[in-house]
Amino acid sequence: MGVAIAIVVVVVGSVLFHLFSPWWWTPIATNWVFMDDMISLTFWITGVVYVAVLLFVAYCVFKFQYREGRIAAYEPENNKLEGWLTVLTSLGVAALLAPGLVVWFQFVNVPEEATEIEVVGQQWSWSYRLPGLDGKLGTADNRLISVDNTLGINPDDPNGQDDIIIDGDDLHFALGKPVKMLLRSVDVLHDYYVPEFRAKMDMVPGMITYFWIEPTRVGTFDVLCAELCGVGHGFMRGTVLIDSEEDYALWLSEQITFAQMLEQRDVKVASAVKP
C-alpha cells in the first residue's frame, strides 16, 4: 500500500509541478511558434503515457500484493495484449514524429525573399557578415583567416568587397524581414542559440549549416553557444537586437564593409613603415 501511494504522489506532484512551475519558455520573438506547439503536443502525449503507466503500476502493486496462499498465474504469451500494445505504441510514436516532420519541413524551406546573414563562431566569440548593396555574400575560406581578415573572406571575389563585417559586436535584425542564417565554425563545434528565436543549429567545422527566422517583435536578446566548445564555453555570449525598419537602416549605414576594412589595414601598414 505504501509503495502504491508513493507512486500516486509522484504522479500528482509531477503534474502540479508542471502546471505551477515558474520555469517556462521565454516569450517568443520570431515566427517559430510552431516549435512551441510541437513541444507542447509532445509533452502532453508523453505526459499522458507517463501518468497512465505509473497509475497502472500503482494499481498492480496494490491489487496483486503478496497474500498468503495466493499463487501467481503463469501466462508466458498473450497475443491479444501484444497486439494492442504494438498498435498503441505505433500510434504514439507516429503522433510524436508527425508534428516534428511537419515543422522540420518548414524549418529547412527558406523563403525566396530571405536575406542571407553569415554567422561565424570561434573560441569564444561571434562574428557576422551581411551582404552589401549587391545582395550577395562573397566566398570565404577558413584558410584565408588572418589578423587582418578574421572571417577568411576571399579578397579576390568582387561579391565580397561590399560585404558588411560585424566582428565580435552586436547583430541587428529588421522587424518582419525573413533572414537565412548561414552558420560557419572556424575551429570546433559550436551551436548558435537565441532562446527567444526557438531556432538553433550546430556549427560544424568544414560545413555550412543554416536555419531561418522572421523577427516578430523588437527587443534585445542574448546569444548563447549551446554546444560545449572548450574552457571558455560559458563566456561565448553575444547580443542580437530586433529593430524597426528605420532603426535597422540607420545601424546598417554605420557599419564598415570588407573593402573599407582592407583600406584601414593598408593605412595602418603605410603609417607603420613611414620613416
- pLDDT confidence tier of residue 267, bands split at 50, 70 and 90: low
pLDDT tens, position by position, 126-185 = 999 999 888 888 888 888 888 878 888 888 888 888 889 888 788 999 999 999 999 999
**Beta-sheet strand order (sheet of 125-130):** 209-213, 179-185, 115-122, 125-130, 164-167, 256-257
Question: For 87-140, what is each residue's pLDDT tens digit?
Answer: 988 988 888 888 888 888 888 889 988 999 999 998 888 999 999 888 888 888
pLDDT band with cut points at 50, 70 and 90 for residue 274: low
Evaluate whether 99 touches 120 at the Cβ level (below 8 Å). no
**First-last CA distance in the chain:** 93
Q: Which amino acid is at 229?
A: C
Question: What span, in angstroms and rounded, lies between the C-alpha atoms of 14 and 6?
Answer: 12
Q: What is the mean pLDDT of residues 211-231?
A: 92
* Confidence (pLDDT) at 215: 94
Tell how far CA 65 is from the center of its chain.
48
- The Cα 62–Cα 5 span in angstroms is 9
Residue 203: its pLDDT value, please? 92
Give the CA angle between residues 259, 162, 237 to the nearest 5°.
90
| Residue 25: count of CB within 10 angstroms of its CB | 12
How would you classify the pairing of strands 238-243 and 171-174? parallel
**What is the DSSP-derived secondary structure letter of residue 144?**
G
Average pLDDT over residues 21-44: 86
DSSP 215: B
d(CA 205, CA 217): 32
CA distances from 131 to 112, 150, 185, 192, 255 (A): 15, 17, 19, 20, 12
- Whole-prediction pTM: 0.78
**What integer pLDDT is reported at residue 261 of this predicted model?**
81
Task: State the fold for domain 115-273.
Answer: Immunoglobulin-like (2.60.40)
Rounded CA-CA distance 89/107 in Å is 27
Cβ within 8 Å of residue 248, ≥6 positions away: 172, 173, 174, 175
Q: Domain extents for the chain?
A: 2-65+80-108, 115-273
Q: How confident is the model at residue 217 (pLDDT cuts 50, 70, 90)?
A: very high
Q: What b/e readout covers 99-135, taking b as 16+ CB neighbours within 10 angstroms?
A: beeebeeebeebeeeeebbbbbbbbbbbbbbbbbeee
Handedness of CA 150, 151, 157, 159 (dihedral sign): negative
| pLDDT of the residue at 266 | 61
Peptide bond into 124 cis (omega under 30): yes
Could you read off the pLDDT of 5-31 as tens digits, one per residue? 888 898 898 888 888 888 878 899 999
